[in-house]
Structure 1
Amino acid sequence: MTQDWYIIDDVEKLDTPALVVYPDRVKANIDLLKSMINNVDRLRPHVKTYKNKEVTLLLLAADVHKFKCATIAEAELLAVCKAPDVLLAYQPVGPKLYRFVKLMQTYSHTKFSCLVDNAVAAKEISDIAQANKLTINVYLDLNVGMNRTGIPAGFEALQLYMDCAVLPGLNPVGLHAYDGHIHDVDLETRTERCNAGFEPVLKLQQDLKQRGYPEPIIVAGGSPTFPIHSKRKQVECSPGTFVYWDKGYQLGMPEQPFLPAALVITRVISLPDATKVCLDVGHKSVSAENELNKRIYFLNAPELKPVGQSEEHLVVEAGKDHAYQVGDVLYGMPHHICPTVALYERTYIIENNTLNGEWLNAARDRKITI
């Protein structure tokens, strides 16, 4: 009988809860992603999922040279790895802007860019850039339905892009359209919604070209809409979750056959009554923004039903006459891996079913050096 891929033979050495990663599966996911697009130069994966040097180096070795991130620490992590092209998918305001400039000055081998969605921020970015004798590449952040940041792709966006072009510290280079609100399980429905939201983006790109601007680069989508945007010949795509995958996307994006590559290992620590089991995987150990039954799925105990969770504990219903004992190890697949990774300072590496080192999730911190 073949041993399950996730089993750790020397798991007794592992204190729990613990985040573990299987590098061979990460590499397989990177290869799969490359096979799903016509040109690897169109890939701009998001570092927010994994937050460490090691996966960055695996991506660079696979000829992925463009990256996206959301924090200064993530941008610095990429720069330390000598990533050639880094988009901070965030509009730097206040001290973050000074840190961004310092990043550009410190890591001159990396080409940095950031987002902008209003004239006040654009002027501030330009002034700071000019004071430091820099020109900052900016992407117009477009609101295509997320309704958090961004400007609708219409006349105001056109005007802002043109305003950025005359500000001495800015160089507008493209459009950023993140449609993370679109995650219908049915791919046809997802495609229809994605295309509808993308039409104004294409029109804005054409309007800018007609006014004599170089064709703006379009950076679009995340994991849910990657199969759709990947078919647009010139669009850069920004999936992130693909490196580790998770239960949420496994259920919600069945057309994408990425492998689960990161798990949370937990142990039974108490048996509160005849039918319940208590595990050491609380809010601090797995992303808890979803409803209780959509936080963690146990590969070797799929029948367990969560009934309560606190900071350090998860209580599950196991049923009458269950066989679980204190000390039993469970292998949990998070429903949302990105914020789960942010809960762990380190990842334990599993190769050939044994513990084989650690990866530090350095960019889980808000600051590395800058």
Structure 2
Amino acid sequence: MIEANWYPLEDPASVNSPGLIFYEDRIQENINLLISMIDQKSRLRPHVKTHKSAEVTRMMLAAGLQKFKCATIAEAEMLGTCAAPDVLLAYQPVGPNLTRFLALQEQFPNTKFSCLVDNEETARSIAKLARQHHRTFQVYIDLNVGMNRTGIRPDRAKLLYESMLNVEGLNVLGFHAYDGHIHDADFSIRQQKAAEIITVLQTLSRAIEEKHQHKPIIIAGGTPTMPIFAKDTDFECSPGTFALWDEGYQKAFSEQPFLPAALVISRVVSLPDERLICLDLGHKAVAAENTLSNRITFLNAPELVPVSQSEEHLVMDAGENHQYKIGDVLYGLPFHVCPTVALYDQLISVSSRRAPESWQIISRKRKNTI
């Protein structure tokens, strides 16, 4: 772990609050750590939903990572502008998103884009559009391995896979299995649950390989199970939160020594009574889907107890005889960093090698140009 007092800005007075800060040296350490956890870089397909920025993507490209995963067309477009070689849209495109998926490929011909499908009707719609434009779309079959959000059950996946093999306009590359329901703090429980999924996926893969003489690519897992899939399989792994880390993952997954690399800066804006202080950090500045006590922890004020939060305000109990003043700067570690990043248009990036820079969070939007 880097020094305890790693986060204060040299010139906090120049930074607006609430504001988002990325610590570039720590992001680089997290990228290096991720690479050290797997036998081949080619098995890594990091998810960009956490950082949503071109600059962090370029850091990963510079480290030798070539494959990426994203959840929106805007994220895919950002990856295209970075010349990422291989991009999986981990979503099944329907409606206008299908033509947007085509537009991605036309605008960024040097990036290999793929997407998910989980039913034959959608697959044939994708294939029809591909044929109309004399293209072949790369697809993965999305599996429901227990999260019950999207995907087809694994016991039905072989039939869907085989029905798509000879469909003109489609190239079926393999399977995608996200296990976001596995987030137990106990690593042994995660291992047990992941092992059950590994068995299912390996059995499915062998059945395909034996019958069709080619081995499907399997993309599986998120950050909580990444160390398990990295060690016990040859699957591609697609963690996302590792890049920035957060309080929730730091508490839950202590076996993964990633560094918190993103903070939210806030200021005291009011002293409503003897015990209470009010910060400029409302729902619009930090992810608020968790309970009030699990939204943010202030590294330089860990004793503060949350009382209430509204759109633009966060009221904290500072205790009797506290010394807080209007304008005091607080540095908060989000409990859930991914949706927190999505609340900001831009951030301040801090590096030991240069002056702070302003970065755009370009893919927080639902649409950029495509």
TM range (shorter): over 0.9
Matching of residues 34-45 of structure 1 within 5 Å = 34-45=35-46
**Residue number in structure 1 paired with 2:241:** 241
- Counterpart CA distance in 1 for 2:116 and 2:125 is 13
Q: CA deviation at 1:86?
A: 0.3
Q: Is residue 2:76 matched to residue 1:75?
A: yes
Q: Is residue 2:62 matched to residue 1:32?
A: no
**Residue number in structure 2 paired with 1:147:** 148
Q: CA deviation at 1:198?
A: 2.8
- Counterpart CA distance in 1 for 2:261 and 2:4 is 16
- Counterpart CA distance in 1 for 2:310 and 2:185 is 30
Matching of residues 1-370 of structure 1 within 5 Å = 4-154=5-155, 156-352=156-352, 356-370=356-370
Q: CA deviation at 1:352?
A: 4.0
RMSD: 1.3
Runs of 4+ in 1 over 3 A off after TM superposition: 352-355
Q: Which moved more, 1:206-215 or 1:254-263?
A: 206-215
- Counterpart CA distance in 2 for 1:327 and 1:354 is 27
Letter in structure 2 aligned against 1:131:
Q
Letter in structure 2 aligned against 1:84:
P
Q: Aligned pair in 2 of structure 1 residues 166, 303: CA closer, same or farther (>3 Å)?
A: same
Q: Which moved more, 1:232-241 or 1:81-90?
A: 232-241
Point out where structure 2 has 5 or more consecutive residues left out of the alignment: none
CA contact (8 A) 2:297 2:335 kept: yes
- Counterpart CA distance in 2 for 1:141 and 1:224 is 19
- Counterpart CA distance in 1 for 2:351 and 2:33 is 20
Tell me the percent identity: 54
Q: Aligned pair in 2 of structure 1 residues 105, 59: CA closer, same or farther (>3 Å)?
A: same
Q: CA deviation at 1:181?
A: 0.8
Q: Which moved more, 1:26-35 or 1:192-201?
A: 192-201
Q: CA deviation at 1:232?
A: 3.1
- Counterpart CA distance in 1 for 2:297 and 2:228 is 28
The alignment of Structure 1 onto Structure 2 pairs a total of residues equal to 368
Point out where structure 1 has 5 or more consecutive residues left out of the alignment: none
Q: CA deviation at 1:353?
A: 10
- Counterpart CA distance in 2 for 1:298 and 1:353 is 26
TM-score (norm 1): 0.97
- Counterpart CA distance in 2 for 1:69 and 1:275 is 44
Q: Aligned pair in 2 of structure 1 residues 354, 138: CA closer, same or farther (>3 Å)?
A: closer
Give the secondary-structure state (helix, strand or coil) at the position aligned to 1:48.
coil
Q: Which moved more, 1:210-219 or 1:91-100?
A: 210-219
- Counterpart CA distance in 2 for 1:201 and 1:91 is 20
CA contact (8 A) 2:25 2:352 kept: no
Give the secondary-structure state (helix, strand or coil) at the position aligned to 2:165.
helix
Letter in structure 1 aligned against 2:118:
D
CA contact (8 A) 1:153 1:204 kept: yes
Give the secondary-structure state (helix, strand or coil) at the position aligned to 2:231.
coil
- Counterpart CA distance in 2 for 1:260 and 1:48 is 16
CA contact (8 A) 2:349 2:356 kept: yes
- Counterpart CA distance in 2 for 1:137 and 1:351 is 38
Q: Aligned pair in 2 of structure 1 residues 329, 355: CA closer, same or farther (>3 Å)?
A: farther
Letter in structure 1 aligned against 2:12:
V
Superposed CA offset, 1:98-132 (max 9, x none): 00011111111000110000111111011011111
CA contact (8 A) 1:40 1:63 kept: yes
Letter in structure 2 aligned against 1:330:
L
TM-score (norm 2): 0.97
